[in-house]
Amino acid sequence: MKQFLLVGVFLIFAFGVAAQQKRVITVDDLWAMKRIGSVVVSPNGEHIAFSVTQYSMEDNSGQTDIYLMSIDGGNIRPILDSEENESSPSFSPDGSKLTYQFDGQIWQCNIDGTEKEQLTNLYTGASGIRWSNDGSKILFVSSVYPDCTTEDCNKERDEAKESSKVEVEVFTELMYRHWDDWRGEKRSHLFIMDLESKETTDLTLNSTFDVPPIALGSKNDYNFSPDGSEVVYTMNKDKMLATSTNNDIFVLSLNGKSKPQQISVSKGNDNQPIYSPNGKFIAFRSMARAGFESDKRTLVLYDRERKELSNISEQLDISIGQMVWAEDSKSIFYTAAKEIYNSIYNINIETKENRLLIKEVAASGLNLAGNKLIFKAQKSTLPFEIFKANFDGSKMEQITSINASLLANLKMNDVETFWSDGPENAKVQSIIVKPPFFDSTKKYPMIFLIHGGPQGHWTDNFHYRWNLQLFASKGYVVVAPNPRGSTGYGQAFTDGISQDWAGKVYEDLMNAYEYALTNYKFIDRNNTFAAGASYGGYMINWIEGHNTKFNALVNHDGVYNLESMYGTTEELWFPEWEMGGTPWENRELYRKWSPSEFVENFKTPMLIVHGGMDFRVPEGQAFELFTALQKMGVDSKFIYFPKESHFVLKPQNAKFWWNSIFNWFEEYKR
């Protein structure tokens, strides 16, 4: 049994460690952190179950277990901690059972971990359980051949493919691959199981459309109605998924006679449908604009009796995140990006009064327990822990401390922020992190970080790939701007990058860079470095052709040639929105903003990192870039991870990644 040293006397001791005994964070520390995943509250509000993943650098892998504790954080203990992975906990409606994911199937046990029972036994596996309120049925999803009506059919099709001596893939439509997965012929279908009879029914039998959708959805894309008479789910029925963000909401009566009925009307992305506790409404998130994956997410209500839609957050300049109904069905709690945070709000569905409950928090996994909010939160100096707060946001309290012993030994500085000016009177916020044991009389080199997306933002969080504290640990000041395109600053600010990929946003970034050098005298102007991934990598490539301000650059999975990128990426709606069409429809804009058009200006040393399984920004982008740098005689190095995707996720590969970046910067210090 694995045990955590958590609270009480230990914490008093751990955080009493003298400052001089503390040390800087290392890559091994980053991978030694225990990572909280799913967090769920029992129906009676007495218990919290959550998953925890721990990684082994030696084994180069991770293991996930499930823990249980009382609602106040006491009596924490592992209840499912075999040598295999147990994940995705969920309480039964009466709170007596806990379901979980194990070995590709759904299992259940008592809440103390005893009397384990396998619920599903599908050849194709099962995941993503949703309970009916009466506890008699469950929903789940499984990837199947759409026309297969039996398990034997799915098995025979797989075995025939595996036994064939012809190694070939035949594509007849786009979206034949996604992220790091070759899509194949199978589709994710929605199933229902009667727990008494164990009878399982494919609710989307013969459908060639995925539930939940292959992209832009959430794990909460299907649910039972409170009375168990119908289900709601998200699906995209457009013929060409590669160019469509048109996820829609459907309801299906379980009387066995009705066909699914579409209730959403937007041509943009609709998802996360959830019934109100009183059964009167279905709430879901909706985007208005077709083809724009980062449009504002508004909160739409569907009145089930009147069959009418109403948008209750349309007037708010807020993009809705996770939603949870209040028990009285009068309001909805939700999370949303706000500046460098992911804050918690509440909106009244009748008056549309919107209240910011907790601003300065990077929250997710929101739950309700009686009159308490239960959620996980993080900051740059603290990996995810579980917190509770009153419904009005007051008395926020951390109730787990699973990494206390490790954190007690580390010296890290909280994030600070500054604002600089951008074009069109924009105000641009940047995070700054000082190195551990900072001395204001000294000069420090700077690492300038550019985030991906581009519709994303740097937050006050403990990132396991682009960790601000680890970048600072080697004696660097870290500056991480949120320029045009960033979320959390209003939709107009987010929109401001589309079809202007290196225009105003480039000025935003360079203004933030100069502001930092001018106003923070402890930054050494002669030793500045820049790094970014995905769109951030694109901007690194743009900088390569447009200035020589930095000693050296790091490009991780970055876009280099916008035209060839279009022909090899999977989600075509993205370049078509961002560049105003296809390359043959708007070739001038593709070339205007393509770093590959400015090779003659390349001078700054660059480290390139790319994954062979990255289908979002395919590997050819790195090959083309490295060839150009080498032909131009620019100091350059290419690190290629053949089995990594858009992210470096294996512990030993990640350690190599971090060490390579630090060595690259060190090589070009003056």
How many Å is the Cα radius of gyration of the chain? 25
The string over 145-162, giving b where at least 16 C-beta atoms fall within 10 Å of a residue's C-beta and e elsewhere, is bbebeeeeebeebeeeee
DSSP-H helix ranges across 584-669: 587-592, 620-631, 651-667
Taking the chain (670 residues) in consecutive chunks of 10 residues, what is each chunk's mean pLDDT? Answer: 42 45 97 98 97 97 97 95 95 96 97 96 96 97 95 96 93 94 96 95 96 91 97 97 98 92 98 98 98 98 98 98 98 98 98 98 97 97 98 98 97 98 97 98 98 98 97 98 98 98 98 98 98 98 98 98 98 98 98 98 98 98 98 98 97 98 98
* 466 residue type, one letter: W
463 pairs with which residues across the strands? none
Over residues 414-463, the pLDDT tens digits come to 999 999 999 999 999 999 999 999 999 999 999 999 999 999 999 999 99
Q: Evaluate whether 108 touches 97 at the Cβ level (below 8 Å).
A: yes
Q: What is the 3-state secondary structure (H, E, C) of 576-591?
A: HHHCCCCCCCCHHHHH
Query: Which of 605, 607, 593 minimizes the C-alpha distance to 565?
Result: 593
Q: Evaluate whether 154 touches 144 at the Cβ level (below 8 Å).
A: yes
Q: Evaluate whether 344 touches 373 at the Cβ level (below 8 Å).
A: yes
Over residues 390-404, the pLDDT tens digits come to 999 999 999 999 999
Q: How far apart are CA 589 and CA 432, in angstroms?
A: 33
* pLDDT for 218: 81
Query: Which of 290, 378, 399 minimizes the C-alpha distance to 335?
Result: 378
Q: How far apart are CA 247 and CA 264, in angstroms?
A: 9
How many other CB atoms are found less than 10 A from the CB of residue 493?
Answer: 21
Query: Which of 160, 85, 27, 14 minimizes the C-alpha distance to 473?
Result: 27
* pLDDT for 14: 42
* pLDDT for 20: 56
Main-chain phi, psi angles of 626, to 5 degrees: -60, -40
Q: How far apart are CA 102 and CA 100, in angstroms?
A: 6
Query: Which of 77, 79, 99 minimizes the C-alpha distance to 90?
Result: 99
Q: How far apart are CA 548 and CA 526, in angstroms?
A: 12
* 285 residue type, one letter: R
Q: Which two tokens stand for residue 27?
A: 């890559």
Domains of the chain: 412-667 (3.40.50.1820)
> 612 vs 315, 451, 534, 536, 626, CA distance in Å?
43, 21, 14, 19, 15
Residue 342 burial class via C-beta count within 10 angstroms: exposed 0-12, middle 13-18, buried 19 and up: buried
Question: What helix, strand, coil percent values describe the chain, rounded to 5?
Answer: 20, 35, 45
Q: How far apart are CA 549 and CA 33, in angstroms?
A: 36
* pLDDT for 4: 45
